[in-house]
Amino acid sequence: MSQTLGRSSAAGSDAEPLAAATPLWAGLAAVYRAQLSRVRVSRVPLLFVAVFQSVGIMILMRGVVDTGSDSAREAVVAGSSVLVVAFVALNLLAQHFGALRAANALDYYLTLPVRPAAVVLGIAAAYASFTLPGAVVTAVIGALMFQLPLANLWALLLVVPLSGAALAGVGAVCGLLSPRQELATLLGQLGMSAALLLGIIPADRMPMVVEWGRDVLPSSYGVDAFIATYGTPDWAAFGADLAVCAAVGVAMLSLATWAFRRTARG
């Protein structure tokens, strides 16, 4: 993008030179900082809701799953931890972008020399970054409830940002492409419900069709990566699952960037 803009400044011999475009990182940092201050007020209650929901689900699942099976317990705890990320990154972000679009608020960014990617990433990063404490708290409570080791908890430092990127990308695309705000909210909630159902029920108990659904949902790879760190860690699987998250994140955030530009010029 910077290259095409560079060429346009040479257009027409007596055209006014264009002011500098904002570098990607500077734009991202400015948007991130502003968004972080924006969500500061609502951060604590939202995190509380997200953690409360995940812990509630773990309590429910304790009566349902076979607590003798390692894989079942790991699936429930990992799924519930990543659910915190899905709640914020997918559901809330879809709502936020839907609202921005409905209020013509994207005009503000579109008339500043900042790259759409910086705006999408900055907003997504602000939402995703406040999910980390929630995911950690949920994982700790889960580990205590289901007698799982706490040794590899640091893995969340990778799992949360990467699955956060993938889910935030999906959320942003839903919010930006929905023709109506209510639809954006609905899609965000549907996505979160899917993450809830498909992420928490242990994979080996599912019918074939549901398992395919699980395979297309990016949060599943975050869940699987976290599961891989329990017991005897399988670092190859961990890396592979995170790579999928990262790839989906890049693809979805690129799509969101495209959607962001497209929205404006209707």
Q: Classify the C-alpha dihedral 108-111-114-118 as positive or negative.
A: positive
183 binds another protein (CB under 8 A): no
206 binds another protein (CB under 8 A): no
Closest to another protein by CB, 17 vs 63, is 17
Task: Give yes or no for a contact between 218 and 248, defined as CB atoms under 8 angstroms apart.
Answer: yes
Q: Which of residues 25-44 bind another protein (CB under 8 A)?
A: 26-27, 29-31, 33-34, 37-38, 41
Output the CA angle 128-132-136, nearest 5 degrees. Answer: 150
Among 12, 63, 68, 179, binds another protein (CB under 8 A): 12
Structure tokens at 254: 């690129």
Closest to another protein by CB, 111 vs 147, is 111
15 binds another protein (CB under 8 A): yes
DSSP E strand stretches across 32-184: none
- State in angstroms the smallest separation of the CB of 96 from another protein: 11
Closest to another protein by CB, 18 vs 157, is 18
Task: Give yes or no for a contact between 31 and 118, defined as CB atoms under 8 angstroms apart.
Answer: yes
Among 3, 19, 45, 232, binds another protein (CB under 8 A): 19
- State in angstroms the smallest separation of the CB of 91 from another protein: 19
- Give the whole-angstrom CA distance, residue 155 versus residue 13: 56
Structure tokens at 116: 């759409």
150 binds another protein (CB under 8 A): no
Here's the x/- map for another protein, 103-142, by CB under 8 A: it reads as: xxxxxxxxxxxx----------------------------
60 binds another protein (CB under 8 A): no
Q: Classify the C-alpha dihedral 225-160-52-137 as positive or negative.
A: positive
Task: Give yes or no for a contact between 196 and 87, defined as CB atoms under 8 angstroms apart.
Answer: no
- Give the whole-angstrom CA distance, residue 137 versus residue 51: 7
Give burial (CB, 10 Å; 0-12/13-18/19+) of 3. exposed
Among 61, 100, 192, 194, binds another protein (CB under 8 A): 100
- Give the whole-angstrom CA distance, residue 260 versus residue 254: 10
182 binds another protein (CB under 8 A): no
- State in angstroms the smallest separation of the CB of 235 from another protein: 40
Task: Give yes or no for a contact between 125 and 28, defined as CB atoms under 8 angstroms apart.
Answer: yes
Closest to another protein by CB, 59 vs 105, is 105
- State in angstroms the smallest separation of the CB of 106 from another protein: 7
Chain positions contacting another protein, by CB under 8 A: 5, 8-9, 11-12, 14-16, 18-23, 26-27, 29-31, 33-34, 37-38, 41, 99-100, 103-114, 264-266
